[in-house]
Amino acid sequence: MNQLGFPILSIMLAVPLVAALWCLFAPGEGEAKARSARVTALAASLIDLVLGGVLWANYEVGGARWQFIERADVFGRFSWALGIDGIALMLIVLTVFLVPLCILASWTSIQKRVPEYMAVFLLTELLMLGVFVAQDLFLFYIMFEGGLIPMYMIIGIWGGARRIYASYKFFLYTLLGSVLMLIAMLYMAQTAGTTFIPTLMTFNFSSQAQLWLFLAFFASFAVKMPMWPVHTWLPDAHVEAPTAGSVILAGVMLKLAGYGFIRFSLPMFPEASAHYMWLIFALSMIATVYTSLVALVQKDMKKLIAYSSVAHMALVTFGLFAFNRQGIEGAMMVMLGHGLVSSALFLCVGVVYDRLHTREIARYGGLATNMPAYATFFLFFTMASVGLPGLSNFPGEFLSMMGTYEISSWAAFIAVTGIITGAAYMLYLYRRICFGPQTNADAAAMPDLDKREWLVLAPLAAAVLWMGVYPESFLSPMRADVGALLERIHPAAPASDAALTVPHAAPAAAVAGER
Amino acid sequence: MSYIDSFALSLPEIILSFGAIVLMLAAAWMGDKASKAISWVSVLLLAGAGLALLGPAGSGGLGYDGLYVADPFAAFAKLLIYVGAAVAILVAPGFFNRDGEMRAEYPVLILLSAVGMGTMVSAVDLLTLYVGLELQSLAAYVLASFLRRDDRSAEAGLKYFVLGALASGILLYGISLLYGFSGTTSFVGVAAAMKASMGSGLLFGLVFVLAGLAFKISAVPFHMWTPDVYEGAPTPVTAFFASAPKVAAMALTVRVAIEAMGPATGEWRQIIIFCALASTILGAVGAIGQTNIKRLLAYSSINNVGFALFGLVAGTAYGASAVMTYMTVYIVMTLGSLICVLQMRTADGTPTEQIAALSGLSRTRPALAAAFAIFMFSLAGIPPLFGFWPKFMVFDALVRVDMWPLAMIGIATSVIGAFYYLKIVKTIYFDEPAGVLAPSRSMIEGVLIALAALFVSPLGYLMIGPLGRITQTAANALF
């Protein structure tokens, strides 16, 4: 079975499911049921966190490519095939780390329909974990697409004023992207004769087919990522979603697309990836410049962070399509770092939103005076988001840009401007909220962090520091898998515009002939 | 083959016909107070007919001198038809009893209609086809106007009758053309004539026959009657229309297209592609502005028929099995959602069909709301619900014959459809409670809803293997 002797991945999926059903059907009424639902959800997510830890501890770095494999052919046409590599492991760890924090963050801010909320949230966790552990093409698709339903519910029921519009936009946008991917998957299963992802990753599709298949997958992942110009659902969804919804959206859901690129687009269609590299780079360059500038003028805190997410995700796509180790490892690190930092920033917004019920930046100011602990945490995460060395985003951003520079100095040049504008909008945001005069009396009267909020923010801060100081913990499980990926895509890698290696001396005969 | 053997092949129809006649007499003598007993006996008869499919009626081959066939395809379609018919009988008392309109003839008419549908799916001759179709339709016209004192019901019946008669005329004209130009009414003979030479006479016959059948499955551009009839007919009858006759007409269309017109696949494929795309698009767009849930579900059925037709477009055995899979899951979803509509009653028991009445249902009746949401997401084809699987199958069938551009367009139209299903979920879950719907007392409805919801829940995926084998066996019988 696997190195543990029990089906740990299935159990990790079953725990949130059972807990979600218990939240919904547990006896009790009103407040008592709400309390039991909160406790159940927290307990379930903590169990998954522990299991995630067990997974990480038992993952053999340098061992088999796919570990913790499970397989049951129960669906006739496709199977319940689970298994992870280092890349999936890191994203699973990120997911199980964030979910308990989300549930803690919703402890008091969600007051209506608590059992349903907790159940839907746990189902979201189940589906996202399912995406990362699925080893079967269609199982992946079902998990990937299934995530729409709970997220639609979270935005639509517990969201803000324009929640209905945002939920529709989120659902239909992402659905349109993914159905095209389904057709591509059907074609692949038909051509390759298997739905097993590891086999498909080594299957050579014809160059012509690759071009189409890549575009179909791109339609799905570009929306989910989100890349300019199909990013417009994200600010709406983020702004209207409750805090924890934003956290899960930014922290994990956006990573599904990056994971998809690594798992499908690059290894399965290497030639097409090289062919469309410029498309990706062009969109990423526009995204970096455009969304950073848009972020600069936002009046809504969540919208600003949402746009900053789009800009950060552009760094991921830059790195992924750089076709070299620095780029791909950097992209993964940006995903993990952004998962932590953007989640933390959304939680910071949530803290003040719970007190004042507005996300408008102008309604705050001078919070450093009355909320010193909060201001410290917020500053810490702002710095991490800006890419300060020693904090989580720096290793990823640095690697990603270095990889990009190796293949295209122009793309790298534009990517770096994103870091500069990123510093501008984040510091400007921080100044307007935490520094300056206390012009708003109600904002000035807000109490500092309570114990629960400390409990939410402190682990995130620790993780951010860990990732910045010792990124090796996170890089080492992925190293072999990135190596395998590089081996696969290397023959198709496009030429670099910067001659980073010394050209070979011309053969003597040729030199003689030129004379 | 002796007549005894032929009778054995059509045992289900014989059981139902005799049962219907006896029950009709019983209804005449005992009156409406016996309606409950008659209903239960009818359900038992349907179950008996279903059991009879295990014998020679399930796979006995040709009978009645090549007019009728008992093959696994027909048997599977009949099974779905009987389920739809039985459900329509079971849920009727809860609807009609309140007005004292539950009449003993209702189950009898459904049985007769089921006989007609059984004949349709077993037809291998254009005349058997026509007789079966008419028997089914005549019973259906009466059922549509079953609420005699209700204007809308009478209108529905009349509309259905006039347009149905028109469709029958078109079909009959097509049949006469096919007969005239091939000299035979048997499917095999028509196919042989088409193979020999595909003249314009046969081509016109093909077009008219398909047009007539498109009426029966309510594919665009022959769908106009559907919203009006679904809205006007009593809800249990709507549930019946949306399930059993849809399966019968769809199975018939598949059989005619493949067995009788197989050599002309290139010709009919264009027609079916148009119908399929037009149905998915118009079915989705038409539903968006609806305020009546039954009208919305009518458009949803048009939309779903379009998707099922994509399987037929492939023209392969796998495609035919995809159509049957589609219809299987579709009737469960549609019956489930229409029984949910049956539960929409105000405090004084008056049924309401306004979508607005569903507002905030999730807070007043969470279980019904959850079932509704499951059916809606499933109809939209969103995984992990089982409604995703039939869509997967039909598009897989298209991709297998390298028609992936059509598959791309087809699946993109499903996004338009998702919009109005989401609208229902939004009304139920996001809106403030309207509080007009009262709790239900019906056990049977509750049980049926629960069963249907379980079927389309992710648990349904466990049935992919067996269901795939059964539909594949059924489809192979056509080739």
Q: Tell me, rounded to whole angstroms, the distance of Cα B178 from its chain centroid.
A: 26
Average pLDDT of the segment spanning A103-114: 86
Smallest CA–CA distance, residue A81 to chain B, in Å, is 14
Helix (H) or strand (E) holding A80: strand A80-84
Q: What are A297-334's pLDDT values in tens digits?
A: 998 989 999 999 999 999 999 999 988 899 999 999 99
Residues 6+ apart with CB under 8 A from A461: A344, A377, A380, A381
Residues 6+ apart with CB under 8 A from B169: none
- How sure is the predictor about A514, in pLDDT bands with cuts at 50, 70 and 90? very low
Six-digit token string for B368: 């019904």
Interchain contact B377–A (C-beta under 8 A)? yes
Among B362, B382, B408, beta carbon nearest to A148: B382
Return mean pLDDT, chain A: 88
Q: Per the omega criterion (within 30 degrees of 0), is the bond before B384 cis?
A: yes
Q: Report CB contact under 8 Å: B404, A187.
A: yes
User: Which one of A179, A211, A217 makes the best mutation probe of the B interface by having the most chain B beta carbons within 10 Å?
Assistant: A179
DSSP A1-44: --TTSS-HHHHHHHHHHHHHHHHHH-S--HHHHHHHHHHHHHHH
Q: Residue B162: how many CA atoms within 13 Å on its side-chain side?
A: 9
Among A145, A156, A171, beta carbon nearest to B383: A145
pLDDT of amino acid B468: 92
Contacts of A138 in chain B (CB under 8 A): 392
Pairing of strands B68-70, B61-63: antiparallel
Yes or no: say if A364 and A356 are a contact pair by the CB < 8 Å rule.
yes
Interchain CB contacts (distance < 8 Å): A and B? 89
CB count in 10 Å sphere of residue A113: 18
Q: Report CB contact under 8 Å: B464, A76.
A: yes
Contacts of B377 in chain A (CB under 8 A): 149
Report how far apart, in Å, the C-alpha atoms of B385 and of each of A190, A354, B454 are. Answer: 23, 35, 10
Question: pTM here?
Answer: 0.92
- Closest Cα to residue B423, out of B388, B364, B377? B377
- Closest Cα to residue B83, out of B233, B266, B246? B246
DSSP B221-287: TS-THHHHHHHHS-HHHHHHHHHHHHHHHHHHHHHIIIIISGGGHHHHHHHHHHHHHHHHHHHHHHH
- Which residue of A lies nearest to B458 if distances are taken between CA atoms? A142
Most confident of A40-49, A63-72, A502-511: A40-49
Contacts of A153 in chain B (CB under 8 A): 429
Average pLDDT of the segment spanning A60-80: 87
- Which residue of B lies nearest to A179 if distances are taken between CA atoms? B411
C-alpha to C-alpha distance for B421 and B424, rounded to whole angstroms: 5
Yes or no: say if A271 and A207 are a contact pair by the CB < 8 Å rule.
yes
Smallest CA–CA distance, residue A146 to chain B, in Å, is 5
Q: Report CB contact under 8 Å: A157, B429.
A: yes
Q: Report CB contact under 8 Å: A167, B430.
A: yes
Contacts of B392 in chain A (CB under 8 A): 138, 182, 186
Interchain contact A80–B (C-beta under 8 A)? no
pLDDT of amino acid A515: 46
Question: What is the phi/psi pair of residue A43, to 5°?
Answer: -60, -45
Residues 6+ apart with CB under 8 A from A208: none
Q: Report CB contact under 8 Å: B411, A182.
A: yes
pLDDT of amino acid B45: 95
Interchain contact B361–A (C-beta under 8 A)? no
Q: Per the omega criterion (within 30 degrees of 0), is the bond before A229 cis?
A: yes
C-alpha to C-alpha distance for B109 and B143, rounded to whole angstroms: 7
Strand partners of residue A81? A71
CB count in 10 Å sphere of residue A409: 13
Q: Tell me, rounded to whole angstroms, the distance of Cα A195 from its chain centroid.
A: 25
Interchain contact A113–B (C-beta under 8 A)? yes
Instruction: Name residue A363's amino acid.
Output: R
Polymer length in residues for chain B? 479
Q: Report CB contact under 8 Å: A74, B388.
A: no
Smallest CA–CA distance, residue A190 to chain B, in Å, is 7
For B126-161, give one letter per residue: b (16+ CB within 10 A) or e.
bebbbbbbbbbbbbbbbbbbbbeebeebbbbbebbb
Six-digit token string for B58: 């399930």
Q: Per the omega criterion (within 30 degrees of 0), is the bond before A226 cis?
A: yes
8-state DSSP, A81: E
Is the pLDDT confidence value at A108 over 90?
Answer: no
Interchain contact B409–A (C-beta under 8 A)? no
C-alpha to C-alpha distance for B443 and A350, rounded to whole angstroms: 46
Interchain contact A43–B (C-beta under 8 A)? no
Interchain contact B429–A (C-beta under 8 A)? yes
Instruction: Name residue A372's amino acid.
Output: P
Six-digit token string for A333: 């690190």
Q: Report CB contact under 8 Å: B383, A146.
A: yes
Interchain contact B400–A (C-beta under 8 A)? yes
Among A143, A175, A216, beta carbon nearest to B415: A175
Report how far apart, in Å, the C-alpha atoms of A291 and of each of A258, A294, A295, A307, A331 are. Answer: 19, 5, 6, 6, 19
Six-digit token string for A79: 């199977």
Interchain contact B411–A (C-beta under 8 A)? yes
Is the pLDDT confidence value at A498 over 70?
Answer: no
C-alpha to C-alpha distance for B330 and B328, rounded to whole angstroms: 5
Q: What are A343-391's pLDDT values in tens digits?
A: 999 999 999 888 888 888 888 888 888 899 999 999 999 999 998 998 9
Q: First CA to last CA across chain A, in angstroms?
A: 68
Q: Report CB contact under 8 Å: B411, A180.
A: yes
Q: What are A212-262's pLDDT values in tens digits?
A: 999 999 999 998 888 888 888 888 888 888 888 899 888 888 899 999 999
Going residue by residue through chain B, which has 479 residues, state the pLDDT in tens, using 9 for 90 and above.
Answer: 678 888 889 999 999 999 999 999 999 898 878 888 999 999 999 999 999 999 888 888 888 888 999 999 999 999 999 999 999 999 988 888 776 667 888 999 999 999 999 999 999 999 999 999 999 999 999 999 888 888 888 999 999 999 999 999 999 999 999 999 999 999 999 999 999 988 899 999 999 999 999 999 999 889 989 999 999 999 999 999 999 999 999 999 999 999 999 899 988 999 999 999 999 999 999 988 899 999 999 999 999 999 999 999 999 999 999 999 999 999 999 999 999 998 888 887 788 888 888 888 888 888 899 999 999 999 999 988 999 999 999 999 999 999 988 999 999 889 888 888 998 998 898 888 877 778 777 788 899 999 999 999 999 999 999 999 999 999 999 98
Interchain contact A165–B (C-beta under 8 A)? no
pLDDT of amino acid A501: 59
pLDDT-above-70 percentage for chain A: 96
Contacts of A29 in chain B (CB under 8 A): none
Contacts of A134 in chain B (CB under 8 A): none
Interchain contact B414–A (C-beta under 8 A)? yes
Contacts of A149 in chain B (CB under 8 A): 377, 382
Average pLDDT of the segment spanning A199-214: 90
pLDDT of amino acid B93: 85
8-state DSSP, B97: G
pLDDT of amino acid A366: 84
Q: First CA to last CA across chain B, in angstroms?
A: 23
8-state DSSP, A250: I
Interchain contact B356–A (C-beta under 8 A)? no
Interchain contact B433–A (C-beta under 8 A)? no
User: Which one of A171, A181, A185, A215 makes the best mutation probe of the B interface by having the most chain B beta carbons within 10 Å?
Assistant: A171
Among B362, B408, B468, beta carbon nearest to A76: B468
Among A143, A164, A190, beta carbon nearest to B426: A164
User: Which one of A186, A212, A220, A233 makes the best mutation probe of the B interface by having the most chain B beta carbons within 10 Å?
Assistant: A186
Above 0.85 for ipTM, yes or no? Answer: yes
- Which residue of B lies nearest to A162 if distances are taken between CA atoms? B430
Report how far apart, in Å, the C-alpha atoms of B173 and of each of A99, B136, B209 are. Answer: 65, 19, 8
Q: Report CB contact under 8 Å: B430, A146.
A: no
C-alpha to C-alpha distance for B309 and B220, rounded to whole angstroms: 11
pLDDT of amino acid B103: 84
